[in-house]
Chain A
Amino acid sequence: MSHTLSRRVLLGGAAAGLAAPAIAQQKAAARLVIVGGGFGGATAARYARIHHPEMEVTLIEPKTRFITCPYGNLILDGKRQLGQISFNYDGLRKRGVKVAQASATGIDAAAKRVRLDKGAAVAYDRLIVSPGIAIRWGALEGYTEALSATIPHAWIPNDGTQIMTLRRQLEAMENGGVVGFALPENPFRCPPGPYERISLVASYLKKHKPRSKILALDAKETFSKQGLFQDGWKALYGDMIEWVPGNKDGRVARVEADRTLVTEFGTRHKVAVANVIPPQYAAAIARESGLVDKSGWVPVDPRSFEAKAAPGVYVVGDATNGAPLPKSGFVASNTAKHAVACAVASLKGEAPPAGLYFNTCYSHVGDDYGISVVGVYRPSETAFVEVPNSGGVSPRGDLPEQRKLESGYADGWYASIAKDMFS
């Protein structure tokens, strides 16, 4: 029963002189179902229970433990352990979220049902889908799922195996080895993430294996916070890091099992440890439910995050085709709240509330050295529009106090957003 309908029943009953409390007890709660328990989904579940306690909230997530992508890079230089970036759903359960530990395998938007892997289905009045990304296996020659066991991508945390494999390979590498990165074309999850990773691998190497080098082979010519990262690399790590852009033969076209990265012009780089961040697209549930367009990402109404292909289905997070909104955890969390508000408005027959979307991505470049990019966005009918004269990156220059403060603020952000998801 929809919220609108139950309100009508309630009002009609009261007008007819029936006892209002009895009618209220009969009222079926509107059912908000959420697919995916990450930054978007967990935030949506928590926010919905706090601000719209009249709704029944079900979160569908197969994993019992969520490991964040943000702060995964800090495992590589030893500043964080896996347990410190792992969270469970007990906090959400205590708030009354029904956590269905299952995989969503399909969405029937016409019947308003989500199919689960165990054969069951969950009915909804409104659906929020925040499924994240999948690796586009086959898009990069030679880089198979099997090979990712020894040449990790470490770009989807899952159970933590990928990032820990990379960490152990760095530990096992001899001093003087070359760590090779293969970096993708846009768009991909967490635009500054690969460059934070390069930074923190350099931080580890400088302390433990200072004769080692980093070779970063990039399909792109530019990247997020580029000037700031490159300033930091030079200041902190000297000439340890060589970044090769796409127009200087940086585009990796093939990966070989002996850790040889082959560029599009055939240059062969055999490295001691390789991290391949491959091309990506929206997670399977979004693709297999017909939510994506030919780009592989989900187009949404910028005012509401309702999927263009499925009324009543709101899609947030990295799976969306949301540029210029970055594919960041902060954006997923922030816009998930907006999607909940829009779903509630829709149940009441109201227009979506005015959108105001916010992002800050901090990156660690080294010890006490943080940088950031800020974006504030409002929707038009057809696009996400950055508010003119706002946002942007940290100032460049020799600003140690600024870098130290931002490093601390990054830690504050991580603790804060984790609470906003799971507490």
Chain B
Amino acid sequence: MKLAYAVSMFVTFGAFAPSALFAAEPVPLSAQGCVGCHGVRGTGSDPTPRIAGRPAAEIVSQLKAFASNQRPGTIMGRIARGYSDADIVAIAAYFSAQK
């Protein structure tokens, strides 16, 4: 249920959020925490998985699932709960656009 909600939330925001954020801030500062482990531009740092190029809706839904403990995580639940919906949308927009 929550997963579906998260995806639909992103679709609602998704129409305008990425371009608006990109105009103001090419790399959202909220995404800078992620690259510390997931690699420069989210390209992965073995064994920490690559997140660059994943669909934005998937990144949003996974972060929400971690935050709500619907997806068990070693560490991501503790992290995801620190980010607002707007942060998560910005993070997803950034990493989905990376190659």
Chain A contact residues, CB within 8 Å of chain B: 51, 330, 333-334, 337-338, 341, 353-358, 360, 372, 374-376, 387, 389-392, 394, 402, 405-406, 408-409, 411-413, 415-417, 419-420, 423
Q: Which of A341, A354, A358, A412 contacts B47 (CB 8 A)?
A: A412
Inside 8 A of B81's CB, which chain A residues have their CB? 376, 387, 389-391
Rounded to whole angstroms, the CA-CA distance of A372 and B75 in the bound complex is 8
Inside 8 A of B80's CB, which chain A residues have their CB? 390
Say whether B74 contacts A415, CB under 8 Å. no
Known contacts being A51-B27, A419-B39, is A413 close to B45, with CB within 8 Å? yes
Chain B nearest Cβ from A340, distance in angstroms: 10
Inside 8 A of B33's CB, which chain A residues have their CB? 334, 356-358, 376
Question: Told that A360-B36, A372-B75, A391-B81 touch, could you supply 5 new A-B pairs with CB distance under 8 A?
Answer: A376-B83, A390-B83, A405-B74, A412-B46, A419-B39
Q: Which of A341, A360, A405, A415 contacts B45 (CB 8 A)?
A: A415
Rounded to whole angstroms, the CA-CA distance of A390 and B68 in the bound complex is 11
Q: Which of A334, A394, A411 contacts B32 (CB 8 A)?
A: A334
Rounded to whole angstroms, the CA-CA distance of A411 and B45 in the bound complex is 8
Let me know if B29 is at the binding interface, CB within 8 A. Answer: yes
Taken residue by residue from 28 to 41, chain B's Cβ proximity to chain A (1 for < 8 Å, 0 otherwise) reads as 01101101111110
Known contacts being A51-B27, A337-B29, A412-B48, is A360 close to B74, with CB within 8 Å? no
Inside 8 A of B11's CB, which chain A residues have their CB? none
Chain B contact residues, CB within 8 Å of chain A: 25-27, 29-30, 32-33, 35-40, 45-48, 74-75, 78-83, 87
Say whether B87 contacts A356, CB under 8 Å. yes
Rounded to whole angstroms, the CA-CA distance of A338 and B26 in the bound complex is 13
Say whether B78 contacts A391, CB under 8 Å. yes
Known contacts being A356-B30, A409-B48, A412-B46, is A417 close to B87, with CB within 8 Å? no
Say whether B75 contacts A333, CB under 8 Å. no
Say whether A394 contacts B74, CB under 8 Å. yes
| 4 residue pairs, one from A and one from B, having the closest CB atoms | A376-B82, A358-B33, A390-B82, A412-B48
Rounded to whole angstroms, the CA-CA distance of A408 and B45 in the bound complex is 10
Chain A nearest Cβ from B26, distance in angstroms: 7
Say whether B75 contacts A360, CB under 8 Å. yes
Inside 8 A of B25's CB, which chain A residues have their CB? 353
Residue on A with the closest CB to B75?
A372
Q: Which of A334, A390, A406 contacts B74 (CB 8 A)?
A: A406
Say whether A423 contacts B78, CB under 8 Å. no
Inside 8 A of B45's CB, which chain A residues have their CB? 412-413, 415-416, 419
Say whether B29 contacts A338, CB under 8 Å. yes
Chain B nearest Cβ from A285, distance in angstroms: 26
Say whether A374 contacts B48, CB under 8 Å. no
Inside 8 A of B79's CB, which chain A residues have their CB? 358, 360, 374, 376, 390-391
Chain B nearest Cβ from A65, distance in angstroms: 22
Known contacts being A374-B79, A408-B47, is A420 close to B36, with CB within 8 Å? yes
Q: Which of A354, A358, A376, A408 contacts B36 (CB 8 A)?
A: A358
Known contacts being A394-B74, A409-B48, A413-B36, is A358 close to B82, with CB within 8 Å? yes
Which has the most chain B C-beta neighbours within 10 Å: A51, A353, A420?
A420
Inside 8 A of A357's CB, which chain B residues have their CB? 33
Chain A nearest Cβ from B45, distance in angstroms: 4
Rounded to whole angstroms, the CA-CA distance of A337 and B36 in the bound complex is 12
Inside 8 A of B26's CB, which chain A residues have their CB? 51
Say whether B32 contacts A391, CB under 8 Å. no
Inside 8 A of A356's CB, which chain B residues have their CB? 29-30, 33, 83, 87
Residue on A with the closest CB to B32?
A337
Residue on A with the closest CB to B67?
A390
Known contacts being A51-B27, A356-B87, A394-B75, is A334 close to B47, with CB within 8 Å? no
Rounded to whole angstroms, the CA-CA distance of A416 and B32 in the bound complex is 12
Chain B nearest Cβ from A343, distance in angstroms: 13
Q: Can you report 11 A-B residue pairs in the complex whose CB atoms are below 8 A from each other?
A: A51-B26, A330-B36, A391-B82, A394-B74, A406-B74, A409-B75, A411-B47, A412-B47, A415-B45, A416-B40, A420-B40
Which has the most chain A C-beta neighbours within 10 Å: B27, B37, B38, B81?
B37
Say whether A416 contacts B39, CB under 8 Å. yes
